[in-house]
Amino acid sequence: MVCAAMHVKLSPARIWAANSITAILDHGKSMDEVLATGHTFSSMSQRDRALARAIAGTVLRRCGQVDAVLDLYLAHPLPQKTGLMRGILRCATAEILFLRSPAFAIVNEAVSQAASKGKTRAFRHLANAVLRKVATEGLDKLKDLPPSLNIPDWLQTSWKTAYGDQVIEDAASVLIADQPTDITVFGNAKSWAEKLNGHVLGGQSARIQAKDRQSGDVTKWPGFEEGAWQVQDAAASLPVALLAPKPGEHIADLCAAPGGKTAQLADAGAKVVAVDRAQNRLQRLEQNMKRLGLDVQSVCGDVMQWQSETPLDAILLDAPCSATGVFRRHPDVLALKSEEQVCELASMQFSLLAAATQNLRPGGRLVYCVCSAQVEEGEQIAARALAELPLEAASINLETLPFGQEFVSGHALRIAPGAWADKGGLDAFYMASFTRKG
């Protein structure tokens, strides 16, 4: 039996996790925003930081299942103004069921955490009763709660309509799997893949599976500081392959920060101008280019207003989007995005594409891409562009793609959510290839 009165030293990792989950799921903050505010996370020990990220990440990846288990034992929904209470329960449930931490200790600490705050103190006995039930019965209940519950209903409807029923099972599978680390190598990909215990996917892309990668901060891995490689999801490397930059070409990377694709363009020998409206993100791009030893012109400006001094040979437009395609690496997007946001973004994306087209020379190439799984931001934007802009579809030369040929359809490449589920997954992406008429 759990003794709720026992004095328990509160773990900074669990306090941070409960606060973070509350900020994300109840107040709409992103994980990046949570990490950027305050110094609590950075001040923790490496061990506590790892535990904090594990707990918060598990709640975000398993949120549907966690909430379903909790709802079985909550006779009534928690009142809205209960502070961290829901976050405390979610984190403790995730630890008990999925991280398999000792249940007795987790329940005790959750009760003590509830007792330590004014808004949650009145619910400490509830926490004790609910979490004891989770500890004794939760795993059995979980058998009837499939991982598909972790995909929000509106996305399930959208993705089934676009890709078929199987996509939900695949997406749910990659969401809860250990995520690999993908890198783009500037040099000998095979050599660096071997040094980092990975394997080459194709071209300059390599993958290090979670079980094989080195521990610690990725920036401390061999070759990072020297600029031998950059972290970049394999799917995100394909738009540049689709554009097929040539040495000496004048190319703009629009909405460029943080610069992963900018680096690929510059490494191919193109004369690159990187445009982004966010000064802080552009500074990060410049830092990345310096580390990689690449020469790029950076411009802080609004792509809607920006004009090139001379017509460009090629443009890469990586448009701001809902980012539903990166759910496997950034699971907070599942809680933060909505259908309404997708519609608003689609209008802006077309405007960006129209503005970009004006800077392209006749016959010049343009690749439009989004890390979104939503057809409203991908296929529908491309169709509208062909109907309303001086653009025509450009056929894709499969030989220019280092991998991913199976995702090509006409002048576009669509990676569905849950793609490569048996290999560690890929971000869902849409990219379309155009040339300017004239």
Q: What is the DSSP letter of 311?
A: -
Give the pLDDT score at 287. 97
Beta bridge pairs of residue 274: 253, 298
- In whole angstroms, what is the distance from residue 382 CA to residue 218 CA? 36
Shared domain check, 274 and 210: no
Two structure tokens written together for 166: 């199987």
> For position 323, which CATH number holds?
3.40.50.150
Residues 208 and 242 in one domain: no
**Confidence class for position 12, pLDDT limits 50, 70, 90:** very high
Gap between the Cα atoms of 11 and 190, Å rounded: 42
| Interatomic CA distance for residues 14 and 49, integer angstroms | 10
Do 397 and 253 belong to one domain? Answer: yes
pLDDT at 2: 43
112 pLDDT above the threshold of 60: yes
Q: What total number of domains does the chain contain?
A: 3
What pLDDT is attached to residue 81? 84
134 occurs within a structural domain? yes
DSSP state of 314: E
Query: Checking DSSP bridges between strand 271-276 and strand 297-300, what pairing results, if any?
Result: parallel
Q: Tell me the percentage of the chain whose pLDDT exceeds 90.
A: 92
Residue 1 belongs to some domain of the structure: no
Q: How far is CA 8 from CA 43, 55, 70, 116, 385, in A?
A: 21, 19, 23, 11, 61
* 215 and 346 part of one domain: no
**Domain co-membership, 123 together with 262:** no
Q: What tens digit of pLDDT does each residue of 143-191 get? A: 999 999 999 999 999 999 999 999 999 999 999 999 999 999 999 999 9
For residues 336 and 390, state if they share a domain: yes
Query: What amino acid occupies position 29?
Result: K
d(CA 382, CA 396): 15
Q: Give tens-digit pLDDT for 354-412.
A: 999 999 999 999 999 999 999 999 999 999 999 999 999 999 999 999 999 999 999 99
**In a domain? residue 150:** no
pLDDT at 89 over 60: yes
Weakest mean pLDDT among 8-17, 18-27, 129-138, 300-309: 8-17
Looking at residue 5, what is its pLDDT?
A: 44
Task: Tell me, yes or no, whether 245 and 98 share the same domain.
Answer: no
The residues, any chain, with a CB within 8 Å of residue 203's CB and separated by 6 or more, are 189, 237, 241, 402, 403
In a domain? residue 165: no
Cβ(256)–Cβ(274) below 8 Å: yes
Q: Is there a domain that residue 175 lies in?
A: no
Last residue of a domain, one of 126, 145, 164: 145
Among 231, 254, 271, identify where a domain stops: 231
CA–CA separation, 374 and 327 (whole Å): 12
pLDDT-based confidence at 217, cuts 50/70/90?
Answer: confident
Question: Do 188 and 206 belong together in one domain?
Answer: yes
pLDDT of 4: 45
Peptide bond into 258 cis (omega under 30): yes
**Tens-digit pLDDT profile for residues 28-49:** 999 999 998 877 898 999 999 9
Measured over the CA atoms of residue 263, residue 361, residue 407 and residue 320, the dihedral's sign is positive
Residue 303 contacts residue 316 (beta carbons within 8 Å): no
Distance CA 84, CA 18 (A): 7
Question: What whole-number distance in Å separates Cα of residue 385 and Cα of residue 184?
Answer: 30
pLDDT computed for residue 7 by the predictor? 60
**Cα–Cα distance for residue pair 205/196, rounded to 1 Å:** 13
Return the CATH number at 99: 1.10.940.10
Nearest by Cα to 192 from 296, 184, 390: 184
Rounded to an integer, what is the distance from CA 176 to the centroid of its chain? 14
Mean pLDDT on 193-202: 97
Q: What type of residue is 297?
A: Q
The token pair that represents 326 in the structure block: 């990166």
Same domain (yes/no): 371, 281: yes
The whole-number pLDDT of residue 1 equals 41
The model's pTM:
0.94
Same-domain status, 390 and 322: yes
Q: Give the span between the Cα atoms of 438 and 313, in whole angstroms.
A: 13
Containing domain of residue 209, as a range?
182-231
Last residue of a domain, one of 145, 163, 193: 145
Lowest mean pLDDT segment, chosen from 165-169, 183-187, 212-216, 269-273: 212-216
Report if residue 357 sits inside a domain: yes
Quick check: is 392 in a domain?
yes
Statement to judge: residues 384 and 311 lie in one domain = yes
Asked, for residue 156, whether it belongs to a domain, the answer is: no
Give Cα separations from 385 to 100, 239, 240, 244, 414 (angstroms).
51, 18, 20, 21, 17
Residue 167 confidence (pLDDT): 98
Whether residue 272 is found in the same domain as residue 335 = yes
